[in-house]
Every structure is written in C-alpha cells, then in structure tokens.
Amino acid sequence: MPLMVELHELLAVAYKKERLRSRRLVRHAGLSEHAALVRTLEEAAAEQSLRDLVDARRAAQAKAADALRLRQLERATRTKRRTAFDDSSAGESDAWTGWFDGSALPNPGRIGIGGVLKAPHGERIEISATAGIGDSSAAEYLALLALLEAAVRNGATRLVIYGDSRVVIDDVAAPASAGIRRLADHAERVRTLIAQIGDVRLQWIPRARNADADRLSRQALGLPALRAA
C-alpha cells in the first residue's frame, strides 16, 4: 500500500514511545524512518486508517493549544488586572454606554445573548435573543457583536462598553496572532465594528454590576434572572 501521509505529519503527531519504537525498527528491520513510523502508527490506529489517526491527533493538539492560550489569558488578567481600554470617556456628554452578556445552556449548548445600549440623551435599547449553538465564550462574543451592531445602526460615534467576560475583553485587545484561534472570526468582526464607530472603550466589570445584560441573555433562553448574592 502506498504511503499516503508525509513524514513530517507523522512526526508531528507521534508520541515519544512511538518514535522510539520506529527508530528501533529502522535499526533492526532495515526500514526507512518513514516506513518504520507508518508501521508503528498503523498498529496504534487499530481499526482506524492512518489518515484518520493523524487527523484526530492534530485536532486534539489544536484543542489543547487553544485551551492553553485561554489559561494564559486568564492568568494574565488575574495577576495584572489589565484591560486594553479604560472608561475615561464615560462622562462625556456625547458618549453612548453599553453592557453585554452571553449564556450557553448547557455549556456548550443553546446560546442566549443580552445587551443594553444607552444613548447620551437617555434612550435605552435592550437586546435579548437566541444565537445558535456554542460555548460561553462564543456567547459572550456574539452578545458583544450584537451590541456593536446596534450602536452602528443608531449612529454612535463614542461608546463605552462594560462586560464581565475577561476572556473576550482581553482577546479583543490581544494581537490577532496571539488571540484564541477558535474565536478569531468573532474577534475580527468586533474590531471591524469598532473601527466603524470610531471611539470605543471596553471595560471589565464584576458580574454583579452586569445584572441587566445577564438577565436579558438568560431571558432569551427562558431562564429566570439570577438572584443577587
């Protein structure tokens, strides 16, 4: 059977013990490095094809890399309590204000998004909608996107946004190359909308101060509001 998987792909997914075993085959069975690794991984694949084994391991590696990046972002916010923006324009007379929150039931599961957009003159716009299937981070991003889209429709040019998702706020602020890969499309869309508005500041707040947006996200899923602690 022809070898359909390149050597570099095999090396990228082989475990240490599998690489050691393939080296022994090279020495004692006279096989090439490629052939020895194919034989070793085909045995590990059992009833799977070699290609299926390689694809499954690469997917697992990508998932682990995303999880590591997420943990790194969370650690950075806990130790430095940093945000990319501040709320310095909150007191300006022409600044809009907004709050966003997202829920997933279960996690991952059905997504509910909530948001409140308040105009400088006091008009209040509420957002409460379902938004497909995903996890809590995707839900938070979709809620932020809905809030920004509402701001664009209403002609906001200065906007201060509050949310209790450190993950999303930090991910928007991070360079695209350092962001969470599975959320990259959402992050790009957020940055595009921010550019359309002009002056947008994101500020993290504790969940207790985001009660209205949380209530609206849960309302979209038919859930009662959480009781205040």
Mean pLDDT, residues 102-113 taken together: 95
Supply the pTM of this predicted model: 0.63
From-to residues of CATH 3.30.420.10 in the chain: 96-220
DSSP assignments along the chain, one per residue: ----S-HHHHHHH--HHHHHHHHHHHHHH---HHHHHHHHHHHHHTTS-HHHHHHHHHHHHHHHHHHHHHHHHHHHHHHH---S---TTTT-TT-EEEEEEEEEETTTEEEEEEEEEE-TTS-EEEEEEEEEEE-HHHHHHHHHHHHHHHHHHTT-SEEEEEES-HHHHHHHHS-GGGS-GGGHHHHHHHHHHHHHHSEEEEEE--GGGGHHHHHHHHHHTTPPPPPP-
Mean pLDDT, residues 157-179 taken together: 92
pLDDT tens-digit readout, 73-105: 776 665 554 444 444 444 456 899 999 999 999
Predicted confidence (pLDDT) at residue 149 exceeds the cutoff of 90 = yes
Work out the percent of the chain whose per-residue pLDDT is above 70: 89
DSSP assignments along 40-67, one per residue: HHHHHHTTS-HHHHHHHHHHHHHHHHHH
pLDDT tens-digit readout, 27-53: 998 899 999 999 999 999 888 899 899
Half-sphere exposure of residue 90: CA atoms within 13 angstroms, side-chain side: 10
Please say whether the structural domain 96-220 has been given the CATH code 1.10.10.60.
no
pLDDT score of 227:
61
Distances (CA, A) of 163 to 54, 65, 148, 225: 40, 26, 13, 17
